[in-house]
């Protein structure tokens, strides 16, 4: 038995779900050395690349390069041929649209290549859900794309980054992960980008999908899917951002008892093209804020009603007459995801009816 055959046999014994066979036509076309899938990792920083400062809990996100992170999980080399690239090295509180546009272009470029089977993006957890949803709306490929982060810095005792990164490779290497939209792999769960959100500031179980639950889980080097999202399979064509240098300005205003109208007025005066309201309950608005948003919509600003409540949809024309005010209802998108979709929608239209259709569909 040749060395190559021995290696393939060892891999298939250890990870039976990921030992792809040569008779798989697509794999034969793209398989690299050892018949393994070719995965490209794009690194952006975050706690997964964080380093502690001294003996205490303080640490700095976005310190280590991607090769150091991959070096902590050498077993991934038995699952895939891995290439990596550092796109940025920041804490994700500093994520911006320049990096989003760069990522969207790079991911589309990579996935168009026959010898790339999937992409992993390492990312800080703070804004991971927004980048995941942005890519979900802008990547034009059925090949798997997975975002992964960590809650503990790479140098911490019990760092969760290596296990999460290993799981991300497992997910991308699995043929079952195709055509599911952009995914998030965190703490053994696999989420769809649309529903995944950060629900804990500190726990390793930091992410949840409050409306629909995880799509699947990773156990012992295998991914098990429980369901498929209709949204991922029915989305016809991603937004094309290849020619864009920036995105329309969209702000979020947070609802609360006795809320002032000042934030809305400030955004309108600053020529924001869209405002997302993180309203109370079913997207409800303090009467002064409702007045200010109605004025904004009258002036042509796109107004989307979402909710500060963690789960459940913001429903159109139920408690509040969206049709009368020219508002858009966000459905199950939380305010930060609604902002992402509104930015992309505004690259095509400013018309509330057309934007509502995108929210109903995306």
Q: What residues from 220 to 259 belong to the interface with ligand SIN (CB under 6 A)?
A: none
Single out the residue of 35, 37, 118, 124 in contact with ligand SIN (rule: CB under 6 A): 124
Rounded-to-integer distance, Cα 81 and Cα 66, Å: 15
326 contacts ligand SIN (rule: CB under 6 A)? no
Contacts of 68 (CB under 8 A, 6+ apart): 49, 154
161 contacts ligand SIN (rule: CB under 6 A)? no
> Facing residues of 15 across strands?
none
Closest CA to 338 of 320, 354, 314: 314
Single out the residue of 87, 151, 171, 238 in contact with ligand SIN (rule: CB under 6 A): 151
The dihedral region occupied by 158, where left means phi > 0, alpha psi between -120 and 50, and beta the remainder, is left
Binding segment for ligand SIN among 31-39, 87-95, 233-241, 293-301 (CB under 6 A)? 87-95
159 contacts ligand SIN (rule: CB under 6 A)? no
Indicate the residue whose CB is closest to ligand SIN: 124
**H-type helices in 150-254, by residue range?**
161-173, 230-234
Whichever of 149 and 331 has its CB closer to ligand SIN, that residue is 149
Query: How many amino acids of this chain bind ligand SIN (CB under 6 A)?
Result: 11
Cβ of residue 47: shortest distance to ligand SIN, in angstroms? 3
**H/E element holding 267?**
helix 262-269
Whichever of 60 and 84 has its CB closer to ligand SIN, that residue is 60
46 contacts ligand SIN (rule: CB under 6 A)? yes
153 contacts ligand SIN (rule: CB under 6 A)? no
Q: What angle do CA 137, 142, 144 make, to 5 degrees?
A: 90
Single out the residue of 30, 52, 108, 125 in contact with ligand SIN (rule: CB under 6 A): 125
Structure tokens at 72: 């902590």
Cβ of residue 360: shortest distance to ligand SIN, in angstroms? 31
28, 44, 47, 314: which is the annotated catalytic residue? 47
CB contact at 8 A, 362 and 337: no
CB contact at 8 A, 306 and 314: yes
Single out the residue of 8, 37, 40, 47 in contact with ligand SIN (rule: CB under 6 A): 47
Cβ of residue 252: shortest distance to ligand SIN, in angstroms? 18
> Facing residues of 218 across strands?
223
91 contacts ligand SIN (rule: CB under 6 A)? yes
| 48 secondary structure, DSSP code | G
Cβ of residue 151: shortest distance to ligand SIN, in angstroms? 5
Rounded-to-integer distance, Cα 125 and Cα 34, Å: 33
Single out the residue of 35, 37, 149, 161 in contact with ligand SIN (rule: CB under 6 A): 149
61 contacts ligand SIN (rule: CB under 6 A)? yes
Rounded-to-integer distance, Cα 231 and Cα 196, Å: 14
Task: Please confirm, yes or no, whether 47 is among the known catalytic residues.
Answer: yes
Contacts to ligand SIN by CB under 6 A: 46-47, 61, 91-93, 124-126, 149, 151
């Amino acid at each position: 038995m040749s060395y190559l055959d021995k290696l393939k046999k060892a891999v298939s014994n250890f990870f039976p779900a990921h030992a792809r066979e040569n008779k798989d036509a697509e794999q034969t076309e793209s398989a690299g050395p050892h018949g393994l899938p070719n995965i490209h990792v794009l690194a952006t920083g975050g706690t997964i690349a964080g380093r502690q400062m001294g003996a205490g809990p303080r640490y700095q996100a976005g310190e280590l390069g991607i090769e150091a992170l991959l070096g902590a999980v050498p077993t991934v080399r038995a699952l895939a041929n891995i290439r990596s690239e550092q796109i940025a090295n920041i804490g994700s509180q500093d994520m911006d649209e320049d990096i989003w546009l760069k990522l969207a272009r790079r991911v589309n470029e990579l996935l168009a290549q026959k010898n790339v089977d999937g992409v992993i993006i390492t990312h800080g957890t703070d804004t991971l859900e927004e980048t995941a949803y942005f890519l979900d709306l802008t990547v034009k490929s059925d090949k798997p794309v997975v975002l992964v982060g960590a809650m503990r810095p790479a140098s911490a005792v019990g760092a969760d980054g290596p296990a999460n990164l290993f799981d991300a490779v497992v997910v991308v290497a699995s043929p079952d992960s195709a055509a599911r939209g952009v995914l998030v792999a965190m703490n053994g769960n696999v989420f769809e980008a649309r529903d995944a959100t950060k629900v804990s500031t500190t726990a390793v179980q930091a992410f949840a999908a409050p409306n629909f639950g995880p799509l699947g889980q990773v156990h012992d080097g295998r991914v098990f899917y429980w369901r498929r999202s209709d949204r991922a399979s029915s989305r016809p064509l991603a937004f094309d951002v290849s020619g864009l240098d920036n995105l329309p300005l969209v702000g979020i205003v947070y609802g609360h008892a006795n809320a002032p109208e000042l934030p809305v007025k400030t955004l309108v005066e600053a020529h924001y093209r869209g405002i997302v309201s993180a309203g109370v309950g079913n997207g409800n608005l303090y009467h002064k804020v409702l007045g200010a948003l109605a004025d904004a919509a009258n002036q042509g600003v796109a107004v989307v009603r979402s909710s500060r409540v963690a789960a459940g949809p913001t429903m159109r024309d139920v408690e509040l007459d969206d049709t009368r005010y020219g508002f858009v209802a966000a459905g199950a998108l939380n305010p930060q995801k609604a902002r992402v979709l509104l930015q992309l929608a505004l690259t095509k239209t400013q018309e509330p009816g057309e934007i509502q259709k995108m929210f109903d569909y995306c």
